[in-house]
């Protein structure tokens, strides 16, 4: 059953704003000591110079020039991507950072907000299509509820289903990935697990709708990253995209990928390979107190090292461990590979 | 949209072994000071004398006389249920307590174990049918994985899908409820959330397969009890059964229902009413250090008090709070009702 | 042993910036639809007009006019407090919101940062003393570590001990409260539990150093709010201050106090009364998506309702429940009081 | 400041009942397929034959022959330890497995229970002294509370302080280690964190009272294992013993040490070395579904591999990473060492 012969793809990417220092609710003015005046174009050039990834992921806003990305237009982006030999690996419409979105976007009770949100997503789809990307990611950060008796869970769900369906039909050539997260900024997000994303995908009923798994979100959910990958891929390869970062299983710290977990990520990389995952892995960090460019670098180097580790051990070795189903043998093998002796 | 006019049903039940004191891994010989020699028949009579519930739920074992239930036969059970005016609200085959089940039941890698497990479930279905119950609950406690590179997640899932389908077809008049739990005794159970249960239900593709929501499991999952109810009921009323207990959101303590949470359970009861839940709520406790019969009693009294609270406030009042979507108004209302002033 | 005869104090307060809408890392520009130009003076007047609290708590910054508080001077504050019949219940130096603090304050590896932080705290002590408050709160939000092999835990701890000792000696008439938090914005804060705060207090060795318990932080720690109160008060009444808010035990949502938990807070209020807590309870919210003034109002009303509930039931009733040590009796009593019947 | 020159000790041990298959609350009859009739003496011989550890840890019961240890007497144990070249690394009185202990032991409200518990602990102290061990461990598993308004937290604490003081004075040559755990089997244990153990140690006021850190308990607390070691050792080297196992940070799974965490344990081993930890590390597993002897073996091999890793890298290397305080450098170093390239 294992497709151990599948070829490794080793396709790495980075979300461009990972090169910037973020803010949080306590350091509201941002952790950077100086204002960051770099444009999106300059960040693409930085990714090119860094030479570690084959693609970059963009966040799309209503009005170019808004927060997070700097001024840009499609022609400029296409040109600078080409100049730097980079693919556009995906576009995320910013569904979380504008005050009008605070009560929800595709699932807001207000119809005008739903419409405005769908229009923003269509811009992201157009941008992706124009720049050669086949992927648009939707993270419903502001859709969900905080308080008891605040939300009509059924209506919110239905509005999301309808909205995603409209977007899927808007351009069937674009794959749409729904990104689950167990909490934050909402206490109870509308899509809080990989399984719930699958339920929504079935309700939407379109082939170009799948999941963006943020491995950090998965780590602090009541789910197992490797199993989530197996489940999503086992259902018509609906894992469309990956966001890569790390944390301590308690909150979404968006730390350098690989800085905390080792063995669990090795298992995840095995399952990506085994299930023929063929898309990009995109670094998704919040470099609060670490130098941002080096934080991206280390994340990519960890991904490459994990892929190389799988190559070195051989997929058959892992297939055999699972077939043997003896955890003492599996842990012995991993220890010998990681620490020797 | 709300079906606020739906009639309250107020159907309460208890799992019979709740009247016994349990053991745990530290108090392996059990918390009871004396051996409990009462039979299943005697426990049904106790439920009858207690006079709080309209039905009881049974755990079915391979050989009557095994752990947990005492010797019984179907005729005796039917007779004593009738004598005490009690319905049989459901049967759970014991899929967790026999050493041969430790590597899984319907999802075990060993085909003979899968067959033996299915046969045990069929006995439970037969027992339910013979005693007038329309419900059988499956809790896959031993199916899942503990260690990294231990399980083939995709095979385990498929075997569960096939097994449940066979059981659903075995007697289509019996509703089968899958009970999700985020962990324990397995680190990563095969069905770890309400959403994942829905994914499995869709794979199984049978109308008589739904979910048993254990509200305690739900509390310590990355899910919201009320939202899980809304989701399950919003999809063809697939909430087939409820297990009622309480905890502190961190582990499955199986405490007296209502002893910890108040407002969240009120919201859950609202959604049960609103979505027309028409089945039983079954008390499911581990009375480690509390007197068992009184622990059951208090759980039922809390359920009754919550149903009465919903009746007293009126469904329309809660519908209005949700429509208003102002958490300050909702919390003001709840405070006035609970604490006055 | 219970001091059930102690008089209720019912002293309520609010942190002034609770009247403002906050930002978070996703809604970096803030959840407010419009800029909030109100000054600290105006917020004190608002608290006065609202008429629910007897005091207000201030956040002190290096340069009046900085983020969060608006321009103010001590004379103005004293005057407006007097005009509005409000006490100054405490001052918190802002140890979390300036980029120079991102690697720590009193525990930073850089000696100049430690000195600058201590100077800021002394300003807060002076402000408190000048305006009639006896309390200054220290929340070491930026002191701790995120990554493995990032911190020298022993040095960081020692620097905090030395810094707090210097502050305690700077003005022994001012009580200093250390506020523990299990995480955020640091993965591992230097003071992450009430017990760890006690360890530091013993190291510092000064009578005017105690704890500010944020009940929300306590809820999502591996601690029990009521027990933390009992422990802190049992050791020379070292509970110096309270911050009041609510959450779902998983993250620091800073929700309206009382909006989630009921019975656990009733137990906490009992222990506050029993141990003779005589200081203020200060509302500490982040009103992301709720109207801020009403969110403060509801929080105070819940505190008042819980104090009134304790009064109505009588301390002796709760003393008796604990002496009886029968959880079925305790939960029966609470249900009858909350839901009737 | 680092004591990087300290000599590695590499002292490994195992709790004898780790060689047995356990039960849990669902598999109440135990996971073993056959009854385990091996005596304590035979398990010591097994540890000797296995040849991986230098010592074994015993659980002491009131009546030799009780659960968990098999029949034994001190003379037999001394002889078989000597024959096998093993030290007795510690004795734990069984404070969790007898029904009379279910409402607490040293902290029970019933004075007779407290006295009986202290007597049991004295037997353990005598056994340790007689067999050449300087260590007795106390894990207050049954002391704490489950329900709201169940416990008088202050009395329970005081009784524990008094009991531990009596035990410390009973034989000052024996070091007593208090083992914290955040929950299970009690919802809220009397000693739930390393910091709280330190608070109790200060209350007890005896030099021969310290902490047994179970690294698994620490992982699922709101604490950082390495930091807990640094804190305990920084205060008069009060880390007296270690229990070694692993889990996923959510519950006390007592899995094979090293099977889940890698980098966090490397940091912990660094801090043990740096702070001159000179006692044993004792394997403490529940081998539910894995072969028990091999599970112990793998745990010891992981400990040895981590100690060897620290030796190979050199303490100075880690000292330098901490001094540098650049997480990107630390993670680069660790990746190169673990995965190469």
Q: Is the pLDDT of residue C71 over 90?
A: no
C-alpha to C-alpha distance for C264 and B259, rounded to whole angstroms: 10
C-alpha to C-alpha distance for C90 and C80, rounded to whole angstroms: 16
Which H or E run contains C111?
Answer: helix C111-130
Write out chain D residues lying below 8 Å of C234, CB-based: 153-154, 157
Q: What is the pLDDT of residue C75?
A: 87
- B248-259 burial, b at 16+ Cβ within 10 Å, e below that, comes to bbbbbbbbbbbb
Nearest CA in chain A to B234: A154
Which H or E run contains B283?
Answer: strand B281-283
- Answer whether the bond into residue A204 is a cis peptide, omega within 30°: no
Question: Which of C222, C226, C244, C262 to substitute to test the interface with B, most B CBs within 10 Å?
Answer: C262
Q: What is the pLDDT of residues D5-56, one digit of tens each?
A: 455 678 999 999 999 999 999 999 999 999 999 988 999 999 999 999 999 9
Q: What is the pLDDT of residues D66-120, one digit of tens each?
A: 434 444 578 889 999 999 999 999 999 999 999 999 999 999 999 999 999 999 9
**What is the pTM for the complete model shown?**
0.96
Q: What is the pLDDT of residue B61?
A: 75
Q: Nearest by CB to B341, from C305, C332, C341: name it.
A: C305
Q: What is the pLDDT of residue A74?
A: 84
The first and second tokens of residue B284, run together, are: 């499911």
Q: What is the pLDDT of residues D224-246, one digit of tens each?
A: 999 999 999 999 999 999 999 99
With a CB cutoff of 8 Å and minimum separation 6, the contacts of C124 are C60, C91, C92, C93, C136
Write out chain C residues lying below 8 Å of B18, CB-based: none
Cross-chain residue pair D264–A260, CB shorter than 8 Å: yes
Q: What is the pLDDT of residue C74?
A: 84
Mean pLDDT of A204-210: 98
Mean pLDDT of A168-181: 98
Q: Is A230 left (phi over 0), alpha (psi -120 to 50) or beta?
A: alpha
Is the Cβ of B313 closer than 8 Å to some Cβ of chain D? no
Note the maximum CA span of chain C: 63
Is the Cβ of B288 closer than 8 Å to some Cβ of chain D? yes
Q: Provide the shortest C-alpha distance from residue A171 to chain D (in Å).
A: 41
For chain B, give the percent of residues with pLDDT over 90.
90
C-alpha to C-alpha distance for B18 and B141, rounded to whole angstroms: 18
Q: Provide the shortest C-alpha distance from residue A334 to chain D (in Å).
A: 9
The first and second tokens of residue B117, run together, are: 């497990």
Q: Is the pLDDT of residue B341 over 90?
A: no
C-alpha to C-alpha distance for D242 and D252, rounded to whole angstroms: 15
Chains touching A, CB cut-off 8 Å, 3+ pairs: B, C, D
Main-chain dihedrals φ then ψ at residue B220, nearest 5 degrees: -105, 15
If one compares A280 and A69, the residue with the highest pLDDT of the two is A280
Cross-chain residue pair D263–A260, CB shorter than 8 Å: yes
Average pLDDT, chain B: 94
Q: What is the 8-class DSSP label of residue D246?
A: B
Q: Is the pLDDT of residue C169 over 70?
A: yes
With a CB cutoff of 8 Å and minimum separation 6, the contacts of D37 are none
Of C197-201, C233-237, D6-10, minimum mean pLDDT range: D6-10
Q: What is the pLDDT of residue C243?
A: 98
Mean pLDDT of B7-19: 88
Q: What is the pLDDT of residues B78-110, one digit of tens each?
A: 999 999 999 999 999 999 999 999 999 999 999
Q: What is the pLDDT of residues D83-94, one digit of tens each?
A: 999 999 999 999
Q: What is the 8-class DSSP label of residue A274?
A: H
Q: Which of D303, C312, D271, A163 is nearest to B339 (CA)?
A: C312
Q: What is the pLDDT of residue B213?
A: 98
Write out chain A residues lying below 8 Å of B237, CB-based: none
Whole-angstrom distance between the N-terminal and C-terminal Cα of chain A? 32
Q: Which of D9, D182, D166, D169 is nearest to D89 (CA)?
A: D9
Instruction: Please list the alpha-helical segments (H only) found in chain B.
Output: 40-50, 74-83, 111-130, 153-170, 194-204, 215-219, 225-234, 263-274, 292-313, 315-324, 327-339
Structural domains in chain C plus CATH codes? 12-314 (3.20.20.150)
Write out chain A residues lying below 8 Å of B149, CB-based: 267, 270, 318, 321-322, 327, 330, 334
Question: Which of D222, D262, D296, D325 to substitute to test the interface with A, most A CBs within 10 Å?
Answer: D262
* Residue A93 β-bridge partners: A60
Q: Is the pLDDT of residue C10 over 50?
A: yes
Cross-chain residue pair D148–C267, CB shorter than 8 Å: yes
Cross-chain residue pair B141–D26, CB shorter than 8 Å: yes
ipTM of the complex: 0.95
Is the Cβ of C188 closer than 8 Å to some Cβ of chain D? yes
Q: Provide the shortest C-alpha distance from residue C157 to chain A (in Å).
A: 20
Write out chain A residues lying below 8 Å of B264, CB-based: 148
Q: Is the pLDDT of residue D196 over 90?
A: yes
CA angle D171, D133, D140 (to 5 degrees): 70
Q: What is the pLDDT of residue A73?
A: 76
Q: Nearest by CB to D148, from B29, B259, B289: name it.
A: B259
Q: What is the pLDDT of residue A332?
A: 98
If you search the block for the tokens 């997929």, which residue do you land on?
A315
Cross-chain residue pair C153–D195, CB shorter than 8 Å: no
Q: Is the pLDDT of residue B1 over 60?
A: no
Is the Cβ of C23 closer than 8 Å to some Cβ of chain B? no
Q: What is the pLDDT of residue A7?
A: 58
Question: Which of D15, D18, D28, D187 to substitute to test the interface with B, most B CBs within 10 Å?
Answer: D28
Instruction: Please list the alpha-helical segments (H only) found in chain D.
Output: 40-50, 74-83, 111-130, 153-170, 194-204, 215-219, 225-234, 263-274, 292-313, 315-324, 327-339
3-state secondary structure chain C: CCCCCCCCCCCEEEEHHHHCCCCCCCCCCCCCCCCCCCCHHHHHHHHHHHCCCCEEEEEECCCCCCCCCCCCCHHHHHHHHHHCCCEEEEEEECCCCCHHHCCCCCCCCCHHHHHHHHHHHHHHHHHHHHCCCCEEEECCCCCEECCCCCCCHHHHHHHHHHHHHHHHHHCCCCEEEECCCCCCCCCEECCCCHHHHHHHHHHHCCCCEEEEEEHHHHHCCCCCHHHHHHHHHHCCCCEEEEEECECCCCCCCCECCCCCCCHHHHHHHHHHHHCCCCCCEEECCCCCCCCHHHHHHHHHHHHHHHHHHHHHHCHHHHHHHHHHCCHHHHHHHHHHHHHCC
Cross-chain residue pair C99–A67, CB shorter than 8 Å: no
C-alpha to C-alpha distance for C240 and A172, rounded to whole angstroms: 61
Q: Is the pLDDT of residue C259 over 70?
A: yes
Task: Give me the torsion for CA of D194, D199, D200, D204, rounded to 10°.
Answer: 130
Of C258-272, D52-66, D116-130, minimum mean pLDDT range: D52-66
Whole-angstrom distance between the N-terminal and C-terminal Cα of chain B? 32
C-alpha to C-alpha distance for C282 and C11, rounded to whole angstroms: 9
If one compares C67 and D209, the residue with the highest pLDDT of the two is D209
Q: How far is CA B171 from CA B55, B121, B176, B179, in A?
A: 22, 11, 10, 19
Q: Which of D227, D243, D226, D218 is nearest to D303 (CA)?
A: D243
Is the Cβ of C109 closer than 8 Å to some Cβ of chain A? no
Q: Nearest by CB to C328, from B298, B308, B335: name it.
A: B298
CB D89 within 8 A of CB D140: no
Q: Nearest by CB to C227, from D146, D153, D321: name it.
A: D153
CB C321 within 8 A of CB C332: no
The first and second tokens of residue D270, run together, are: 């660094």
Nearest CA in chain D to B97: D27
Mean pLDDT of C95-110: 97
C-alpha to C-alpha distance for A239 and D68, rounded to whole angstroms: 48
Q: What is the pLDDT of residue D60?
A: 82
Q: Nearest by CB to A199, from B152, B157, B199: name it.
A: B199
Q: What is the pLDDT of residue D2?
A: 42
Cross-chain residue pair D22–B24, CB shorter than 8 Å: no
For chain A, give the percent of residues with pLDDT over 90.
90
Chains touching D, CB cut-off 8 Å, 3+ pairs: A, B, C
Q: Provide the shortest C-alpha distance from residue A311 to chain B (in Å).
A: 16
Q: What is the pLDDT of residues B254-263, one digit of tens each?
A: 999 999 999 9
* Residue B143 β-bridge partners: none
The first and second tokens of residue B213, run together, are: 């929501």
Mean pLDDT of A81-87: 97
Q: Which of B186, B185, B164, B183 is nearest to B175 (CA)?
A: B164
Write out chain D residues lying below 8 Å of A308, CB-based: 339-341
Mean pLDDT of D120-131: 94
Cross-chain residue pair C150–D322, CB shorter than 8 Å: yes
Q: Is the pLDDT of residue C7 over 80?
A: no
Cross-chain residue pair D185–B288, CB shorter than 8 Å: yes
Question: Which of A327, A330, A337, A340 to substitute to test the interface with D, most D CBs within 10 Å?
Answer: A327
Q: Is the pLDDT of residue A242 over 90?
A: yes
Is the Cβ of B5 closer than 8 Å to some Cβ of chain C? no
Q: What is the pLDDT of residues D268-315, one digit of tens each?
A: 999 999 999 999 999 999 999 999 999 999 999 999 999 999 999 999
Chain A, window 216-235: residues with a beta carbon less than 8 angstroms from a chain B beta carbon: 221-224, 226-227, 230-231, 234-235
Cross-chain residue pair C340–B298, CB shorter than 8 Å: no
Q: What is the pLDDT of residue D162?
A: 98
Q: Nearest by CB to A256, from D256, D297, D331: name it.
A: D331
Which H or E run contains A210?
Answer: strand A209-214
Q: What is the pLDDT of residues B219-229, one digit of tens each?
A: 999 799 999 99
Write out chain A residues lying below 8 Å of B221, CB-based: 222
Q: Is the pLDDT of residue D155 over 90?
A: yes
Sign of CA dihedral B235, B237, B243, B245: positive
DSSP string of B53-64, one letter each residue: -SEEEEEE-SST
Main-chain dihedrals φ then ψ at residue B43, nearest 5 degrees: -70, -35
Q: What is the pLDDT of residue C61?
A: 75
Mean pLDDT of A286-310: 98
CB D313 within 8 A of CB D10: no
Q: What is the pLDDT of residue A8?
A: 61
- Burial class (CB within 10 angstroms; exposed 0-12, middle 13-18, buried 19+) of B237: middle
Write out chain D residues lying below 8 Å of B28, CB-based: 22-23, 28, 30, 67, 97
If you search the block for the tokens 């406690």, which residue do you land on?
B141
With a CB cutoff of 8 Å and minimum separation 6, the contacts of D205 are D165
CB D254 within 8 A of CB B146: no
Is the Cβ of A110 closer than 8 Å to some Cβ of chain C? no
C-alpha to C-alpha distance for C60 and C28, rounded to whole angstroms: 22
Mean pLDDT of A164-179: 98
Average pLDDT, chain A: 94
CB C208 within 8 A of CB C175: yes
Q: What is the 8-class DSSP label of residue D68?
A: T
Cross-chain residue pair A28–C288, CB shorter than 8 Å: no
* Residue-level length of chain A: 341
Q: What is the pLDDT of residue B10?
A: 86
C-alpha to C-alpha distance for A65 and A72, rounded to whole angstroms: 7
Chains touching B, CB cut-off 8 Å, 3+ pairs: A, C, D
Q: What is the pLDDT of residue B70?
A: 42
């Amino acid at each position: 059953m294992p497709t151990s012969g599948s070829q490794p793809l080793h396709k790495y990417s980075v979300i461009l704003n990972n090169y910037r220092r973020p803010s949080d609710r306590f350091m509201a003015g941002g952790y950077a000591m100086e204002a960051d005046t770099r444009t999106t174009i300059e960040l693409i050039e930085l990714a090119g110079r860094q030479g570690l990834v084959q693609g970059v992921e963009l966040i799309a806003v209503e009005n170019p020039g808004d927060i997070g990305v700097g001024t840009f237009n499609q022609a400029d982006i296409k040109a600078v991507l080409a100049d730097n030999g980079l693919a556009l690996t995906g576009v995320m419409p910013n569904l979380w950072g504008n005050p009008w979105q605070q009560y929800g976007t595709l699932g807001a009770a207000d119809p005008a907000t739903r419409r405005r949100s769908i229009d923003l997503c269509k811009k992201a789809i157009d941008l992706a299509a124009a720049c050669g990307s086949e992927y648009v990611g939707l993270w419903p950060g502001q859709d969900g509820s905080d308080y008891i008796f605040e939300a009509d869970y059924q209506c919110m769900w239905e509005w999301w289903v309808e909205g995603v369906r409209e977007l899927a039909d808007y351009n069937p050539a674009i794959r749409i990935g729904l990104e689950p997260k167990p909490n934050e900024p909402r206490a109870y997000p509308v899509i809080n697990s990989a399984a719930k994303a699958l339920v929504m995908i079935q309700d939407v009923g379109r082939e170009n709708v799948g999941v963006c798994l943020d491995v950090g979100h998965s780590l602090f959910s009541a789910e197992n990253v490797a199993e989530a990958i197996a489940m999503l891929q086992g259902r018509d390869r609906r894992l469309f995209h990956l966001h890569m970062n790390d944390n301590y299983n308690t909150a979404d710290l968006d730390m350098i990928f690989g800085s905390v977990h080792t063995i669990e990520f090795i298992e995840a990389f095995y399952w990506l390979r085994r299930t023929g995952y063929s898309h990009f892995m995109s670094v998704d960090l919040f470099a609060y107190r670490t130098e941002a460019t080096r934080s991206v670098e280390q994340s990519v180097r960890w991904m490459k090292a994990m892929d190389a580790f799988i190559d070195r051990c051989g997929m058959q070795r892992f297939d055999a461990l699972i077939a043997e189903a003896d955890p003492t043998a599996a842990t012995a093998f991993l220890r010998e590979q990681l620490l020797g002796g």
